[in-house]
Amino acid sequence: MKRLWIHHQRTPPYAPQCNPVERANRTLKTMIAQFVGANHRAWHRQLPELVFAANTAVHEGTGYTPASLTYGRELPTPGSVRLEHEDEDEGEAEPHPNRQPRAKRLGHMRDAYQMATLRQQEATERQGRYYNLRRRDWRPEAGDAVMKREHPLSNAAENFAGKLAPKYTGPYMVRRIVSPVIVQLEENGRNLGNVHIKDLKKYGQE
């Protein structure tokens, strides 16, 4: 990674703002929940169909499907393959979009990338305005004592109910400011890793 000038940096847990993969996982989890029914052991059997649905759905942020931006064409569905052959037999007047000349398709992809980038920027600004409505002005500084929000999971075998556990632990000390929204915590000199400020509150604050 160093040879390619790639700097590996971990994102804080429970912060999908820093990792788009977490946002994609949330979408997949929602889709899986609609299909598993009562049998939670067979959810993996629907993954190919669910991934196909996600890749061929028009995303609100970009206005395009992930497949079209990645491959320059839409993924054919089983029904579309059959209809495409029927069009060939009947003498299709215009070539199918997925069989356009390479240069023309590349031109369309460049236009699509530019439009998708513009729409994504607009969506980011719009979502930022909504998010900032609940934003706090407080910003921790190095050396501050803070409390950290926890995300405990229930464990029936150990008779532990996550909802009844303390919501915050600490106090911890802010070791350094990683970015405007990420800080590194420590406890008695031990590095506790990076945390998003949305999961922090000032020590002593109710």
Mean pLDDT by 10 residues, the chain (206 residues): 80 74 79 73 80 82 81 75 51 52 60 70 73 72 91 84 86 91 91 89 81
- Look at residue 99 in the predicted model and tell me its pLDDT: 53
Question: Could you say which DSSP state residue 93 is in?
Answer: S
Question: Is the peptide bond prior to 171 cis by the omega test (within 30 degrees of 0)?
Answer: yes
pLDDT for 186 equals 94
**Domains recognised in the chain with CATH numbers:** 15-132 (no CATH), 144-202 (2.30.30.140)
What is the rounded distance in angstroms from the CA atom of residue 206 to the CA atom of residue 204?
6
Please give, one letter per residue, the 3-state secondary structure of 24-84. HHHHHHHHHHHHCCCCCCCHHHHHHHHHHHHHCCCCCCCCCCHHHHHHCCCCCCHHHHHHH
- The Cα 73–Cα 35 span in angstroms is 28
- Other Cβ atoms less than 10 A from the Cβ of 196: the count is 19
Q: What is the pLDDT of residue 28?
A: 81
